[in-house]
A and B are shown apart, each in its own frame.
Chain A
Amino acid sequence: MIPLQIAASTPSADPFIARLNSEGRAFELERTNGRTPFDVDLELVGSGKLVYRSASIELELKSVDVNDVDGDVVFVNPARGIAHRLVRAGSAHNTFLITERCDQLCVMCSQPPKRGHVDMFPYFEAAALLAPKGAVLGVSGGEPTLFKGQLLPFLERVLGQRPDLSFHVLTNAQHFDVDDVRALSRLPRDRVTWGVPLYSSDSEVHDGIVGKVGAFHKLAEGLAILARSGATLELRTVLMTRNVEALPALARFVASHVPFATSWAIMQLENIGYGRLNWAELFHDHSQRFEPVGEAIDLARSRGLDVWLYNFPRCTVPSDYRQLAPPTISDWKRRYPAGCDGCAEKAECSGLFEWHTDDRGFTRFGLL
């Protein structure tokens, strides 16, 4: 597993953002006049430690390879002695966790919410502006739009200053109202993708899954506002025993009520958080019974929707649908069991979540 936190020490008392530069990168910054006050240059590679320095910052990182972190943008919390890798330069899977608060309590939540909230927006903004060229940055939570008053201007400012960047925001879309159409419309529509979960066309089933009465109806209002704002929408449905048989009905609902979705992702369960706790009740082994998934895909695709299978190992998907299962599990939490070596489709495959134990697997799993 790729570490997202590094043990760090610094003489500074307050938290700060820094971009880590090896000699080569530092030279390139000088050459292109790209140096910012956040840049720190590698000064020393010692036994099990790296020392970075700028005019105002000194930072020591422990037990990390210099090449793995080169170009990373870190948030250093001196009190806890941790550098959080907010933007890993070598990865396409960087996500800002805006808050751990959430107004839902989903039965399969991989990251159960907490009450407390620390405002990190100024740090995220600085980090985003330091991201590598062309990066797609994730925004997640908790529920980020609980802080939409800060979130929307943050997106607008960063995208205005960095025309090469784009964002992918995960939200339950229940906190938009008509007054937000203006702010949403001002965002460049092809550079912000809103990832929004919808679990059932039956409001009671959806509300039961997300643990919030009235969620479905608020979500419907939010989706209409996103549509009117011309937003790019990625609809997301986690596959569970509770919604799998009604997936074709959901496909019909999506085709008729959410046709403006740019794509629809049907996602396999993640075995962590509440997902691990409720695994026995929730997990649907699609390698045993794919039919409702296939029917939903066929219906949605026949109506012109783009449908994808996220987190579906390719060998567990019937060959007719396999090209719809790209590698979607983020690099830092993805693993391939030893048996996958030699599989012809390993490079195109999601593999498994790091925490997906072998006894909780798919009945059909094996080399292609």
Chain B
Amino acid sequence: MKIWPLRFRGGASDGYLFSDDAGGFFRADASFLDRYVSGGLTARDKAFLHLGGHGFEEAGDLAHTSFAYRWSQRQAIRTELGYVILVPTLRCNLSCTYCQVSRAAENARGYDWSEETTGAVLRYLDRLMTSDVKIEFQGGEPLLRLDLLEKVRTFCRRRFTSSKFVVCTNMQRMGAEAWSFLDAPDTFVSTSLDGDSATHTRQRTQSASATEGFLSNLDQALERLGADKVSALPTIDIDDPPDFDELIEAYSSRGMRSIYLRPINHQGFARRARSVDADIERWNTLHRQFVEHLIDLNYRTGAGLEEYYFSQCLRRALRPGADEHVDLRNPNFFGSDYVVIDHDGKLYPTDEARMLSRIGRIDLSIGDVLTGMAAEKRDILNAASLNSFEPDCIHCAFQPYCGSDLIDDLSRYGRSDHARSSTWFCKRHTSVFDHVFELMYRGDAAAGHSLAQWSGIANWGAHLVPKLS
């Protein structure tokens, strides 16, 4: 039997984690590692590796074919462009301490789509090949330009077989017209809820009464639009994180069971007064503690809560095809299935690229809505948007489950070739995947209880995670 190359990680008392290019994994001890590298595998080793799909007899046999299939399923496929993030205005009626998007003041001029840009956006949408479009309105605060939102929505409903709209709003000031815009069944709301009201006030609104206004609008939205049309996520300031229980209460009391802890991006104006990646260890510790907190809480109370990003990483470790989160997939081609159109009509590969460009550090725009996508520039970015051939990644046991984030690398290190293993992205994901695999093999009832829910099965057990003992 020929064995597919195995990467390994660990060395803790309970041995090593091994994985192959197609994402198959198992645990074994140091003596197996010795046998593997010295070519002394026993018949029992080989039977174990065969059952797990880690080897084959000859090209084209079932083991070989199924490995090829699993490998190909692990690659995020390019799909047609059907997801467009629009920034009709950069103006905002809040000024959050770490604003991610480089906002403009509410009454500033020159930060909205011009008439020419608006026309060009509609023509751009008209040229899309898809019959099924998703539009995300970003800002600034997009509800300040309800008229433009209406224009886009009316156009898309007529142009596409199906269309879906997400308004990313701070829900701070909601007039009757805004509510009636959101009432439509094809229109969804995404907002920020940073935790308990003190945290939310400190980070976003700067006044208790403004926070109260927001919370009352959020509750009204949940009531009026329904929980399935409203999503919220907290931005976590690692220098001043919220109390876990108060954060959880803010979500679970509103019937929201999925909480996505989002670190403050190192883009836009948020990067001022922050060192490049001094806080990664603290972030990893906080994230790990939060997940452990949920495990304990779920086991004691049956709460059924998840941290979204952890669940997503767990699903990616277990199976192929969990590519719906655009920040974590491989390859992660830019300007492929989604694109951002800024307030001035420029095209960006991601929202983070837009923010980074706005501070003038680098121009990551990939064209203009008037002239179309600058394919050559996009392709330069895409050449660095996969981890499959990165010198550091190819030796990493987590490569099949992980991704890459060129924009984050550029924002922190000012270059695309910073050693991958020392990036913020790598340190963050190494920590999450270490935690994922540690929990999968932990073998205690509390962890199993949550893992079963997060991976969508009835019961978790040791048989789910192969171990050569």
Residues of A within 8 A of B (CB): 201, 220-221, 223-224, 227-228, 248-249, 252-253, 255-260, 294-295, 297-299, 301-304, 320-321
Contacts and interface: CB of A to CB of B under 8 A. Distances in A.
Nearest to A253: B51
Nearest to B460: A298
Given A252-B466, A304-B319, A304-B320, A228 B65 contact: yes
Interface string B57-84: 0001111111001100100000000000
B53 A302 contact: no
Nearest to B321: A304
A252 B464 CA distance: 9
16 contacts: A201-B51, A224-B60, A227-B62, A227-B66, A227-B69, A228-B60, A248-B463, A256-B24, A257-B53, A258-B62, A259-B70, A295-B461, A298-B461, A299-B464, A303-B319, A304-B320
B12 interface: no
Interface stretch (B184-192, B285-293, B409-417, B450-458): B450-458
Interface string B35-70: 000000000000000011100000011111110011
Given A201-B51, A227-B69, A248-B463, A257 B318 contact: no
B457 A252 contact: no
A298 B60 contact: no
B216 interface: no
Nearest to B63: A257
Interface of B: 24, 51-53, 60-66, 69-70, 73, 318-321, 452, 455-461, 463-464, 466
Contacts of A223: 62
B53 A224 contact: no
B302 to A, nearest CB: 14
Contacts of B463: 248, 295, 298-299
Given A224-B64, A227-B62, A298-B460, 16 more contacts: A220-B62, A221-B61, A224-B60, A227-B66, A228-B60, A252-B51, A252-B52, A257-B66, A260-B66, A295-B461, A298-B457, A298-B458, A298-B459, A299-B464, A302-B464, A320-B458
B65 A227 contact: yes
Contacts of B69: 227, 259-260
B464 A298 contact: yes
Contacts of A258: 62, 66
Given A298-B458, A301-B457, A256 B318 contact: no
A224 B65 contact: yes
A283 to B, nearest CB: 24
B24 A220 contact: no
A49 to B, nearest CB: 52
Nearest to B68: A227
A259 B63 CA distance: 10
Q: Is the interface of A mostly helix, strand, loop or mixed?
A: helix
Nearest to A318: B458
Q: 5 smallest A-B Cβ distances: which pairs?
A: A256-B53, A304-B319, A320-B458, A220-B62, A224-B65
A247 to B, nearest CB: 10
A221 B73 CA distance: 21
A228 B70 CA distance: 13
B52 A256 contact: yes
A320 B61 CA distance: 37
Given A252-B466, A295-B461, A303 B62 contact: no
A298 B52 CA distance: 16
A223 B319 CA distance: 21
A249 B52 CA distance: 10
A302 B457 contact: yes
Listed residue (A224, A257, A260) with the most chain B CB atoms within 10 angstroms of its CB? A257
A63 to B, nearest CB: 48
A131 B73 CA distance: 37
Nearest to A222: B62
Contact of B73 (A248, A253, A259, A320): A259
Contacts of B51: 201, 249, 252-253, 256
Contacts of B459: 294-295, 298, 320
Contacts of A253: 51
Nearest to B456: A301
Nearest to B440: A302
Nearest to B315: A304
A302 B314 CA distance: 10
A248 B465 CA distance: 11
A302 B70 CA distance: 14
A179 to B, nearest CB: 13
B66 A259 contact: yes
Contacts of B461: 295, 298
Contacts of B70: 256, 259
Contact of B62 (A248, A249, A257, A301): A257
B463 to A, nearest CB: 5
A253 B62 CA distance: 11
B62 A224 contact: yes
A342 to B, nearest CB: 27
Contacts of A220: 61-62
Contacts of B318: 302-304
Contacts of B464: 298-299, 302
A358 to B, nearest CB: 30
Contacts of A320: 458-459
Contacts of A302: 318-319, 455, 457, 464
A191 B422 CA distance: 50
A259 B53 CA distance: 10
Most chain A beta-carbon contacts within 10 A, residue among B321, B460, B463:
B463
Contacts of A227: 62, 65-66, 69
B198 to A, nearest CB: 40
